């Protein structure tokens, strides 16, 4: 498996993969259509997709992870949001997501990111060093599901805002 930055030629495959991965996902309400593929496209349109890595094997693209800048109390603090991350349903539980996570986090650290936030299942993401911090919040979600990992300095205090692509 090869992990590499996305190219424009990958856009259709990333869209199809992400749509497939999030269709009937448990965090969506029954009958609710997924929007994660649209978030990635809007991040590109806004120039806010800081890093997009794909996992590719001999069958094609089987995974993708996105990183984009976030604001904390309205300020650019050098922090980024991870997500969406998607793995082809028939390829899940084979380490592709973990590999994308580790490569993406290492890449963001090398780029000088001070830290990364995400919204997700603590049971999965804690193994990558993520944890909930009471001083850092994202409104409207259970606080234990909004987590951060600091690369440099302390975890800041405040309310996190993602790019408008997430709206």
> What is the structure's pLDDT at 154?
92
> What is the structure's pLDDT at 24?
65
Closest by Cα among 129, 89, 87 to 105 = 129
pLDDT beneath 70, residues of the chain: 24-32
pTM: 0.93
CATH number at residue 23: 3.40.630.30
The CA-to-CA distance between both ends of the chain, in Å, stands at 33
Q: Are 40 and 54 in contact (CB under 8 A)?
A: no
Distance, CA of 121 to CA of 118 (rounded, Å): 9
* Token pair 């001070």 in the structure block, residue: 114
Condensed to tens digits (0 to 9), the pLDDT of residues 27-67 reads 655 666 778 999 999 999 999 999 999 999 999 999 999 99
Number of domains the chain is built from: 1
Distance, CA of 18 to CA of 12 (rounded, Å): 10
Segments forming the whole domain that contains residue 60: 2-166
Residue 46 structure tokens: 């806004």
Sign for the pseudo-dihedral over CA of 157, 113, 91, 123: negative
Distance, CA of 21 to CA of 36 (rounded, Å): 9
> What is the structure's pLDDT at 110?
97
């Amino acid at each position: 498996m090869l992990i590499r930055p996305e190219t424009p030629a990958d856009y259709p495959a990333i869209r199809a993969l992400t749509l497939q991965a999030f269709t009937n996902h448990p965090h969506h309400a029954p009958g609710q259509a997924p929007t994660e593929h649209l978030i990635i496209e809007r991040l590109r349109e806004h120039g806010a997709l800081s890093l997009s890595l794909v996992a590719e094997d001999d069958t094609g693209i089987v995974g993708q992870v996105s990183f984009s800048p976030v604001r904390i109390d309205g300020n650019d603090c050098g922090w980024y949001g991870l997500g969406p991350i998607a793995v082809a349903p028939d390829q899940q539980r084979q380490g592709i997501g973990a590999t994308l996570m580790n490569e993406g986090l290492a890449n963001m650290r090398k780029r000088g990111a001070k830290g990364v936030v995400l919204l997700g299942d603590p049971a999965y993401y804690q193994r990558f060093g993520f944890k909930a911090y009471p001083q850092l919040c994202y409104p409207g979600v259970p606080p234990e599901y909004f987590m951060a990992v600091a690369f440099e300095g302390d975890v800041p205090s405040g309310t996190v805002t993602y790019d408008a692509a997430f709206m």
